[in-house]
Amino acid sequence: MRRGLRGLALTIAAPLLAASLLLAVWESWVRIRDVKNYLVPAPSAVLAALVDEPSRFSAAALISLQAALLGLVVASVGAFLLAMVMAHSRILERVLYPPALAVKVTPIVAVAPLFTIWFGFGIAPKILITAMITFFPMLVNSVIGLRSVDPRALDYFRSLDASRWQEFWRLRVPSSLPYIFAGLRISVPLALIGAVVAEFLSGSAGMGQLILIANGDFDTPTLFGAVFVLAALGILLTASVAFVERKVLFWHESSADV
């Protein structure tokens, strides 16, 4: 328990202390040097913007979060299905890899207006853009994961003449989970970026729009507020993935207490 308390103190108190110190230095710097509000607002001004109209931020954040998560789900499911095919055959992998790579290297900024023309200002183009950004890491990790099977375990399955179906669900899928979670850790922050960029480019509702409008108004405290909200969201999402990962992958080396 003592170790637990010390661990808690280290993981929560230490970063909190560092952050407070940073904010204090920032606040005093702005006050002493009398920095203009539209250039760099003091933390107190950012806080004022956040609490002044909190629903503005929370509503926008929820919209962005929804698009980010839906896009991530679409990408993960699509990537896993494609990975099943690619892990099954090297030839299909060679056929399917170039288009997957093409999606990955296409600049989002170039296709976002196109998606807006096709799908309007709703959630659909945002989901699509988010899915485009997160698809590739999920695909690569899923393919590697489905292939990374302990050869001895595979021998065991085959010595018992297990069906392909059993081999897939009872051996390959569980073996792939560490890789899929690694993919999720990369993709979750990307998903948030995807949603915000999509909103920013199309002007549809969400954190991206909030930033766009605040930018036009030289409302720098709101801009900073938006940045903080997004950072907090990103941390929250990443921590949630890590939490689920520890529960699911309790058996994997990555979860071992060192």
Question: Which positions lie near other proteins, rule CB under 8 A?
Answer: 150-162, 166, 170-171, 174, 250-252
Identify which of residues 47 and 177 has a Cβ nearer to other proteins in the complex.
177
C-beta neighbour count of 109 within 10 angstroms:
11
Q: Pick the closer one to other proteins by CB: 23 or 173.
A: 173
Nearest distance in Å: CB 206, other proteins: 38
61-to-39, 180, 209, 235 alpha-carbon distances in Å: 24, 26, 11, 14
User: Nearest Cα to 202, choosing from 258, 253, 127?
Assistant: 127
CA–CA–CA angle 12, 66, 60 (5° rounding): 80
Provide φ and ψ at 243, rounded to 5°: -65, -50
Q: Which residue lies nearer to other proteins by CB, 34 or 253?
A: 253
CA 193 centroid distance within chain: 8
* Residue closer to other proteins, measured from CB, 111 or 149: 149
Min CB(147)–other proteins separation in Å: 16
Residue 241 Cβ vs other proteins, minimum distance, rounded to whole Å: 18
Report the nearest approach of other proteins to the CB of residue 178 (Å).
Answer: 10
Two tokens at 95?
């056929």
